[in-house]
Structure 1
Amino acid sequence: MFYVDVAAIDADAWPTLVALLDDAEAARAARFAFDADRRAYVAAHALLRARLCARATGIAPADWRFGATTHGKPFLLSPLTDVDVSLSHTRGMAAVAIASGRDIGVDVECYSKPRNALKVAERYFAPEEAEVVRRQRDPVLQNEAFFAIWTLKESVLKADGRGLAGGLDSFVVNLSPLAVSSGSGESYSVAQWRRGGFFISAAARGGDANFRIEEMRAGALLEAARIV
């Protein structure tokens, strides 16, 4: 697990980070209407490519090729490996997960952004999860509980490749201790961190995953890509 504080990246670093992307990614980045969204997208994709380069010598950042499943989960097309990847970005933060031999998912959200937390939880969460949000009387704590659950659920859905098509209420996450209950009998390992005003959550298919998280600053991100 790696993350980067998008707001901490100097303005003069962005052209270099964009150069790490392939043509399709660069074109998509250019279509964002707002700089904050564009930078979060660029940071996530540059971070993923840089970290893949750190695992495999002799491959330029822009040479990695990706496909996507029908539900939007990215996967490596070239070079062919047993590595599974996931990435997530929101204004101010980007995160990626890379795992060998197992399916992985990551999600990041700012837990201080306004949201009618209880209404959304009652509509989309499992009843047990909505009750966790409901028990928080303070709106700030209610928002935090909502996003703690939301990011865990998103990471699980990304790990199994379904995305939101899998249904947020098709399984239950527990915050203390962190756990996933699935009616299908599928097992998942999950982890969660707070970084600044953000939750970063990760999930892996199967038990006993060893999660580690590391911040990459802009200088380290560029160095990892071997372009400084």
Structure 2
Amino acid sequence: MNPILWKKPPAKLSISRSELHVWRVHLDQVKDQHKYLISLLSPEEIKRSERFIFERDSYRYQVTHSMKRLILGNYLDCDAQYLRFEVGNYGKPSLASLQNALNIQFNLSHSHNLILIAVTRADSIGIDIEYYKKKLSIESLAEIIFSPLERKFFSELKSQQERKKVFFRCWTRKEAYLKAIGTGLTQDISKISVDLSEFSVQDWLQVPTLSKTENTQWKLFTLDMRNAYMVAVVATAFQCYLTGFDLNILHE
């Protein structure tokens, strides 16, 4: 895996059908913009943010969804607070079709101090980020989320460091895939097998499925960020190039 180069975003955003943009937001770098960001949220989003028990979780939700609005509004040349969203059968959000002439798809993920927002014009997109310095019983979790084939691969690894990286590689690839198809973790994650090898930044993700009509080939981007975060992005686009943007704020 090669490191992604994070760029400063241009003043005016555009995205072609062959592009995939990933936006990185550092939670601690937008605190001075918090009041402005809250003003972009819908009443429903504000109510939901108030349901969190811990203030940090509420703040993360507010930043994630206000940044989502800022970014998508810039692509669509629409005021962020006026964007409307629809929810799929399993809870995956999408832009309201009447506002989405460009067929922009997006997906969100966060872990620890980072938020990632993936944007594309492909039919489906999923992203997952995990902070792999957190303490987890990866052997126990692997028994739950790994398929038999994956458990065999995992058990043959000798180094604990490599086992940890492979665990998070599997976790992020599976979750990004499930988010791309729109089911999320409502589907039994152990019934899906993904390749656990260390790909380059972009490769193909082969996912065997029971349905012959379902797309089994997905473009996979794997990012190992600062030796602390593992990221997987899965999209349906056959020709897709990833650009990373580092975002503090999108207004003057």
| Same fold (TM > 0.5) | yes
Aligned equivalent of 1:96: 117
After superposition, where does 1:136-151 map in structure 2 within 5 Å? Answer: 136-151=157-172
After superposition, where does 1:64-75 map in structure 2 within 5 Å? Answer: 64-75=83-94
Aligned equivalent of 1:133: 154
CA shift at 1:7, angstroms?
2.7
Of 176, 181, 184 in structure 1, the residue corresponding to residue 206 of structure 2 is 181
Aligned equivalent of 2:136: 115
8 Å Cα contact 1:152-1:202 kept in structure 2: yes
Take 2:52 and 2:149, find their aligned partners in 1: how far apart are those partners?
A: 37
8 Å Cα contact 2:110-2:116 kept in structure 1: yes
CA shift at 1:179, angstroms?
4.1
Distance 1:141 1:75, change over 3 A: same
Letter of the 1:68 partner, please give it.
Answer: V
8 Å Cα contact 1:40-1:93 kept in structure 2: no
Distance 1:42 1:125, change over 3 A: same
Render the CA deviation track for 1:158-212: whole Å, top value 9, x for unaligned. 1111111232133322232354222235211111212342222110125333222
Q: Does 1:199 align with 2:230?
A: yes
Give the TM-score, by structure 2 length. Answer: 0.78
Aligned equivalent of 2:246: 215
Q: Secondary structure at the match of 2:141?
A: helix
Larger RCO, structure (CA 8 Å, separation 6 or more): 2
CA shift at 1:98, angstroms?
1.2
CA shift at 1:122, angstroms?
1.7
Aligned equivalent of 2:63: 43
The unaligned stretches of length 5 or more in structure 1 are none
CA shift at 1:109, angstroms?
1.3
Aligned equivalent of 1:32: 52
Take 2:161 and 2:44, find their aligned partners in 1: how far apart are those partners?
A: 39
Give the TM-score, by structure 1 length. Answer: 0.86
Q: Secondary structure at the match of 2:219?
A: strand
Render the CA deviation track for 1:35-91: whole Å, top value 9, x for unaligned. 22222222221221111122122x211111111112111111151331111111233
Letter of the 2:54 partner, please give it.
Answer: F
Q: Secondary structure at the match of 2:91?
A: coil
Count of aligned residue pairs for this structure pair: 219
8 Å Cα contact 1:171-1:180 kept in structure 2: no
Render the CA deviation track for 1:112-156: whole Å, top value 9, x for unaligned. 111111211122212232334334445444333211211111111
The unaligned stretches of length 5 or more in structure 2 are 1-21, 210-214
Q: Secondary structure at the match of 1:21?
A: coil
Q: Secondary structure at the match of 2:169?
A: helix
8 Å Cα contact 1:111-1:147 kept in structure 2: yes
Take 1:19 and 1:139, find their aligned partners in 2: how far apart are those partners?
A: 46
More moved, 79-88 vs 149-158: 79-88
Distance 1:138 1:176, change over 3 A: closer
Aligned equivalent of 1:17: 37
